[in-house]
Amino acid sequence: MARITKYIIEGLDRLGKSTLIDGIRQSAGYFEVIHYDKPQRLDFYEGDLRKYQEDCFDSMFSIMNSHARVIFDRAHLGECVYSPLYRGYSGDYVFDLERQNYIDILTDVRLILLTENFDISQHFVDDGLSFDPKARREEQELFLKAFHKSNIKDKRIVCVTHEMTGKFKDKQRILKECIED
């Protein structure tokens, strides 16, 4: 298998994406980290969030087709989750972008989706910041659907909660599940 030079880290908030990224860098060396935030309502796009996102992901796929060593902290799968729930449009166009950029033939890209087991998860308590377990579950289901639809060859789902206790797994165990072949 080819050496992974690009990682795409996806998943819900507070599942350890930043911790995982730190672990990858500690164990594999230098990687540029690109963090994708919510789309911006820039005058250039006349408020069209989808066009802004398309430009972001076009750039991302160009980088994937380069020799750069990059970790994408949140990327295009989130568009399939958050755009229909909160922005009023479908994010499925990202799969057309994958095809147009020949993502299915890249052997140095790994997609990692961090998940939690909601049936036994114990690491979340209501923190008073409008935490909504039902919305989290729905968002995770949309992430899983997008993950399975993605054309990326090397991809894995890593549940960060222990299957028996529901507590977070050790960060080294999670890292191992994410980076080992």
Q: List pLDDT tens digits, range 81-127.
A: 999 999 999 999 999 999 999 999 999 999 999 999 887 654 554 44
Q: What is the mean pLDDT of residues 125-150?
A: 81
Position 1 in a domain = no
CATH code for the domain in which residue 41 is found: 3.40.50
Count up the domains in the chain and report the number. Answer: 1
Position 147 in a domain = no
Contact criterion met (CB below 8 Å) for 107 and 153: yes
Position 133 in a domain = no
pLDDT of residue 126: 47
Position 141 in a domain = no
pLDDT of residue 121: 58
Domain that includes residue 24, residue range: 6-123+155-179
Position 69 in a domain = yes
Position 70 in a domain = yes
Position 44 in a domain = yes
Position 16 in a domain = yes
pTM for this prediction: 0.92
